[in-house]
Amino acid sequence: MIQELSYVGIGSPRSEEWRTYGTKLLGAMLASDGPDGAVRLAVDDINFRIAIHPGEEDEFRYAGWGMANETDLHAFVEHLESHGVVVHAGDPELLAEREVAELAWFEDPWGIRHELTWGKAATPLSFSTGRTMRGGFVTGDQGLGHVVFQVPDIEKANRFYVDILGFRLSDRITTKYFSVRFYHINGRHHSLALSEFPGHVGFNHLMLEVEHMDDLGRLIDLLDTRDTDVMQSLGRHTNDLMTSVYIGSPSGLQIEYGYGGLTVDDLSWVARTYGRPSYWGHKLSDVAKSRLPGIVKPIAAGA
């Protein structure tokens, strides 16, 4: 089974801007550059978990998912292949770049690339925050955070991600305007969410959770001094109880910066349906209303 969201990678013409944005605003630590000049960020003692590759356009590149060990990875690849998923083995160059022991990758029905890995490199006591913070990020056995993708068909996506990949439904939020499903693979309420956007596929946001509310508050103060857009105001979600703000990034991707997310226990968890995403706040800004939500691309008709 997939155990954690391990890392993510995007491409962007403004990758260099993440050196400052990622450290001085988000509070991540600059890690060594990738072989292609990718800016890489650490949020804990894992050598890096976020990579921004130089590229012609803003694009989602890959999500990396951590398996417990090599036995689990091999068994899972066999399971995927038995369901008709085409799985590719990572070559030594790719393993070296991602700093993992082993890697296999595949795409979802709309070309969202997922990498299955084990043995990602870590350096104990290496992490320090990129700006002054009271604490660090909530990772550990909850992984990096969560990713939210837009998919054209939520039911078809649910079948792929649940029936084949084994993501477990935490709950749904269904309103007049959107339909989102939230999935867990560890204690974090969701490591993945899928949002229906007919005719489109996209990477809406990456959520990073801080250990102390003060570090969320300080980020909000820092926005006054930076050219970064607020996409959704401070608010608290109904389902994972996260208090968070959504901000823009140099690359179209949104970052949800949160505190106080719920953890789930599969022994007692029962999926609910909510009619609204937030108890309060999370108001869409004018900027958010004027552009596509995240790195979003139209797909070919009929896909």
Binding site for Fe ion (CB under 5 A): 207, 256
How far is residue 224's CA from residue 170's CA, in Å, rounded to a whole number?
A: 35
Nearer residue to Fe ion within complex by CB, 158 or 170: 170
Q: DSSP label at 223? A: G
E-strand stretches of the chain: 2-12, 29-30, 39-42, 50-54, 59-67, 88-89, 102-107, 113-118, 146-151, 168-174, 179-184, 192-196, 200-210, 230-237, 243-247, 254-259, 272-274, 278-281, 295-298
Nearer residue to Fe ion within complex by CB, 73 or 193: 193
Residue type, 117: T
Nearer residue to Fe ion within complex by CB, 46 or 147: 147
* CA distances for 295 relative to 42, 58, 114, angstroms: 22, 7, 16
Q: Are 22 and 129 in contact (CB under 8 A)?
A: no
Nearer residue to Fe ion within complex by CB, 59 or 256: 256
Residue 44 CB, nearest approach to Fe ion (Å): 19
Residue 13 CB, nearest approach to Fe ion (Å): 25
Nearer residue to Fe ion within complex by CB, 207 or 253: 207
Q: Which residue has the tokens 């962007």?
A: 12
Residue 253 CB, nearest approach to Fe ion (Å): 12
3-class SS of residue 178: coil
Residue 2 CB, nearest approach to Fe ion (Å): 18
Longest Cα–Cα distance in the chain: 53
Nearer residue to Fe ion within complex by CB, 194 or 201: 194
Q: Which residues contact 56 (CB under 8 A, 6 or more apart)?
A: 11, 13
Nearer residue to Fe ion within complex by CB, 47 or 239: 239
Residue 157 CB, nearest approach to Fe ion (Å): 17
How far is residue 206's CA from residue 159's CA, in Å, rounded to a whole number?
A: 23
Residue 237 CB, nearest approach to Fe ion (Å): 7
Residue 69 CB, nearest approach to Fe ion (Å): 29
